[in-house]
Amino acid sequence: MTVGRRRAGSYVCGVDAAMDVIGGKWKVLILWELHVRPRRFGALRRELPGVTEKVLAAQLREMAADGIVHREVFEEVPPRVVYSLTERGEALNAALEPLGDWGRANVLAGHPLGPAAPVPAGSVAAAPLPAAPVPAASVAAAAAPAEPAR
């Protein structure tokens, strides 16, 4: 089983290798849905509005090839396929939990989904970001009086 799209020696670090496995718009969301419970293809598609059948099938195929997702086919009429996380997929979800915590604290802050976590004084996160340089032409344009509407 090959994990990721590239050769093992072509990764710069572990994060680079992990991002190769979870890269793509839908893979982390698929991981999240399968963490809740195993799902059939149609149920996954309904839980991920906006994903097309083609993209979902390709992402699931890649995740199965990487050993993250298990695809179980039941020989029934009509055929039934159930997707679930492997041990490796569960471990990947556990590794992504701190990233989810960071997103809730730093991106969803003030959003109805959750309050911002307090940032310790003196930490890098508490330091103000430097202001981006503004081109002189933009400053001059903003200071000039606006033309009356015609």
Residue with tokens 């730093």: 106
- Beta partners for 84? 70
Q: How confident is the model at residue 34 (pLDDT cuts 50, 70, 90)?
A: very high
pLDDT digits (tens, 9 = 90+) for 95-141: 999 998 998 888 887 665 545 545 555 444 444 444 444 444 444 44
**Maximum Cα–Cα distance for the chain, whole Å?**
74
- What is this structure's pTM? 0.66
Q: Name residues whose C-beta falls within 8 Å of residue 85's C-beta, 6 or more positions apart in sequence.
A: 31, 34, 35, 68, 69, 70, 93
Domains of the chain: 8-118 (1.10.10.10)
